[in-house]
Structure 1
């Protein structure tokens, strides 16, 4: 390949200080770890994991473990790509070099911008509903949702120093609350199931059918790669980017496992499977009426942590895409003092609030859209694995600060696993047509916009990879 022979055989340098006029390097391992954990553990995950263990009992640990291993595969792929091409554009920067402009734009907009539009609005709506249930009549409808959205938009506009401090505190509080729930349940004086019975008897009633729940369990581990768009603001990224994702996913696995086992000991399994708010049931069962305070603490920290991470990471994806010519140039604008991409932050905040205004409290419709958008998120992971394989072939000699262990097996397993999760994404057969219909509509609309942008604005081919030099130095290309 002519591209590979023209490049130096060292990895792209990652300066420890910001380039003039660019982003500032202020994030360490602790801040990135808080992002990796905070964006993954949301209220939706808290609900879905308890419903899964309600269906499968202790056997749910099998798909949970498989989902954890699948998550490690995407952490390996993102780590290799983020350090080979250390740009804020993240997936768009990797993909344009690997397989072309069209999949680059499709991956980010369908897998992150559109998903965030529905995921964040659903989180805020759920927070509004939970607080309204615990404190009825205290807050006007949607005041909590829009109040939290406005607060964290402002804080992210003020800069990453504030973001990092808040994210670390919220992630620690959230994990402590979930661990406390699990440990308190294990120490309960009146369990509905004895601890010794967890692994005794028919601990896996579904048999091999439990593997179908891997798709459900995968949702508990998506999002740790949100640390990658922060690579230009990270100190020692070659060390901290991979460690934050791997350690973060491991913490999440241990926390969810303990949380689920604790729920099995204190709440009847059938109620976990059928209750729409199983985390509320779990908290009040363990702590009584005071459990509502734990629920509010968990809801606030989970929602705010996910929102805070998303408002930090997704605008930086748009900032990087604008630098590459893949999005509106306005997204390149940085605030003079804080050096934050303020236009992109406001854009993400706006599309987050829009579904709440349009759908009101129709949680069923939002959940349907969430599941459909989640298919696009898994598509983004598949594209990521393909990127690694393509770049290994195109640039075999270039040094990589992080190399996927046992390549290419993590990528092959990851692609197969994500396809499996997409196939079994629907929790009920009657929802399958709606979910795939909405996902198809979203992907079709994003694809049409991407094609028009590439052909009419960028004036480039859809599937011709860009030179690596362009991704590393977009302003000089």
Structure 2
């Protein structure tokens, strides 16, 4: 039987119970934690991509993506509080719907984290080239060194995005030697990001003329742009979903929260609502000043974001100031309306903050890889720890090389869409796992329970499916293609080497740093 292997939840929780985390966090701390983790990459990097897909309807896209994230976050919170161990949605699936589906989730997460890190690296490259090199140093990096090739959706004359590849490799090196972010440094970066975006909102909302022509038509591609096109308000929502990922930090803090039944939903919903309103105001400010109408093709349809055709159109002089053509959209808006100095400061904020996001994403990918390796589903050589640095250097270097490769040759929009496909699948499976555990293990202690779970969880599934089918066809097809490759790996290697299949459950907890082995009877083949 393919679906017969489910990891015993008691074995997983045995180690987690040794944490004895003190409950100190209230709703305000959780809200601020969520805001700090969510605001950043997407809004700095993808505003131009979203505007090209939805036009002024980008504001609707942010609202739709935020709504899907809120219901997904509630599902995530229940299961994260119930199973507070390493492995994220992969571990949750292993304990509820079994090894086979857990493998598919882990395989998707490996793709999601790595490609998301590539997307952020490309976004950082835009701010590095535009703000640091062009504005401050007067250096104009040639196109062939600062953009991916046209064949992969890059810019005409592009060959390699060297800054993006370099930052990915630099962060990988830092992870190999064991350098981690300081909490104080991270807090400073969060303050810089929020301050920069607040200044952007204040300046654009008071400087823009907000004339009707900048908002009309409001939805140039409609609400639904068409299956597989990735345009329209829902197509943009599927892309801007990238701007909300990070709320799981609130979910995983449920074990340290006072009165989690009350404070966790408040922290999750409040932080996501704040970020949604914040993002809508940023979009309104950008569109009200520069206009957000997309570049259209001969049929009156928005040119595909990240396509060679859009790259050619954006190279034309008449589109030099277009929001949809900028690689550093927010800084670009402020420069065009006469606030070059503040625009440059915003560019510096992104330049400083985005590498920390790359670090977290690569670390997250290696952690999923590491846990799957320790479960025997991937070669145990991958979980080898460096004798000096005590880090999983093999998988970290493999991940870093893949991230650098993606960042070097592909545009940010395509990378974000592919990453979102994996994220949406993982969130969908978390919603399924919550319902399965409610039926299979109703009496298990839950520090937080989703209110109206039989409404919220199905809404999460519907929302994830809706956004998935509004991604561009290439992004939609990438996930099943990657999944088919994963099935070959699972049946040719992983199923036969699985520790659970061999009768041993191995629980690794990244906080306690302990390992617990519990012998069980191997399930029948």
Distance in 2 (CA, whole Å) between partners of 1:331 and 1:163 is: 27
State the match for 1:397 in structure 2. 443
Taking structure 1 as the reference length, the TM-score comes to 0.76
Of residues 184, 194, 198 in structure 2, which corresponds to 1:175? Answer: 194
State the match for 2:366 in structure 1. 315
Say if 2:210 is the partner of 1:193.
yes
Residue 398 to residue 313, structure 1, CA distance change in 2 (3 Å): same
Distance in 2 (CA, whole Å) between partners of 1:318 and 1:339 is: 16
Of residues 416, 426, 429 in structure 2, which corresponds to 1:380? Answer: 426
State the match for 1:24 in structure 2. none
Q: Which moved more, 1:380-389 or 1:324-333?
A: 324-333
Residue 160 to residue 37, structure 1, CA distance change in 2 (3 Å): farther
1:245-264 equivalent positions in 2, closer than 5 A? 245-264=268-287
Q: Indicate if the aligned counterparts of 1:39 and 1:224 stay in contact, CA closer than 8 A.
A: no
1:224-303 equivalent positions in 2, closer than 5 A? 224-225=246-247, 227=249, 245-270=268-293, 274-277=324-327, 278-290=329-341, 292-301=343-352, 303=354
Distance in 2 (CA, whole Å) between partners of 1:454 and 1:146 is: 31
State the match for 2:470 in structure 1. 424
Residue 17 to residue 399, structure 1, CA distance change in 2 (3 Å): closer
Three-state SS of the structure 2 residue aligned to 1:41 is: helix
What is the CA deviation profile of residues 113-144 of structure 1, one whole-angstrom value per residue up to 9, with x for unaligned ones? 21233332233234324433442546694553
Q: Indicate if the aligned counterparts of 2:371 and 2:508 stay in contact, CA closer than 8 A.
A: no
Three-state SS of the structure 2 residue aligned to 1:476 is: strand
Taking structure 2 as the reference length, the TM-score comes to 0.70
Which aligned runs of 4 or more in structure 1 are off by greater than 6 angstroms? 3-8, 228-232, 240-244, 335-339, 466-474
**CA shift for structure 1 position 33:** 3.7
Q: Indicate if the aligned counterparts of 1:90 and 1:228 stay in contact, CA closer than 8 A.
A: no
What is the CA deviation profile of residues 330-355 of structure 1, one whole-angstrom value per residue up to 9, with x for unaligned ones? 45455679865444443432321122
1:65-104 equivalent positions in 2, closer than 5 A? 65-104=63-102
Residue 235 to residue 454, structure 1, CA distance change in 2 (3 Å): same
What is the CA deviation profile of residues 8-38 of structure 1, one whole-angstrom value per residue up to 9, with x for unaligned ones? 9x996362479xxxxxxxxx95995476325
Say if 2:121 is the partner of 1:120.
no
**CA shift for structure 1 position 229:** 10
Of residues 13, 16, 20 in structure 1, which corresponds to 2:17? Answer: 13
Q: Indicate if the aligned counterparts of 2:384 and 2:392 stay in contact, CA closer than 8 A.
A: yes
Q: Which moved more, 1:136-145 or 1:86-95?
A: 136-145
Of residues 390, 393, 407 in structure 1, which corresponds to 2:453? Answer: 407
State the match for 1:25 in structure 2. none
Distance in 1 (CA, whole Å) between partners of 2:390 and 2:21 is: 13
Three-state SS of the structure 2 residue aligned to 1:475 is: strand
Q: What stretches of structure 2 of length at least 5 have no aligned partner?
A: 1-5, 23-28, 146-160, 226-231, 295-321, 519-525
The CA RMSD over aligned residues, in Å, is 4.3
Q: Indicate if the aligned counterparts of 1:99 and 1:387 stay in contact, CA closer than 8 A.
A: yes
Of residues 216, 219, 222 in structure 1, which corresponds to 2:236? Answer: 216
State the match for 1:47 in structure 2. 48
Q: Which moved more, 1:239-248 or 1:161-170?
A: 239-248
Number of residue pairs the alignment of both structures matches: 440
Three-state SS of the structure 2 residue aligned to 1:162 is: coil
Distance in 2 (CA, whole Å) between partners of 1:126 and 1:412 is: 34
Q: Indicate if the aligned counterparts of 1:174 and 1:298 stay in contact, CA closer than 8 A.
A: yes
State the match for 2:496 in structure 1. 456
Q: Which moved more, 1:416-425 or 1:287-296?
A: 287-296
Three-state SS of the structure 2 residue aligned to 1:303 is: helix
Distance in 2 (CA, whole Å) between partners of 1:304 and 1:6 is: 36
**CA shift for structure 1 position 242:** 6.6
Q: Indicate if the aligned counterparts of 1:31 and 1:164 stay in contact, CA closer than 8 A.
A: no
Three-state SS of the structure 2 residue aligned to 1:183 is: helix
**CA shift for structure 1 position 419:** 0.9
Specify which structure has the higher proportion of helix.
1
Of residues 489, 492, 516 in structure 2, which corresponds to 1:475? Answer: 516
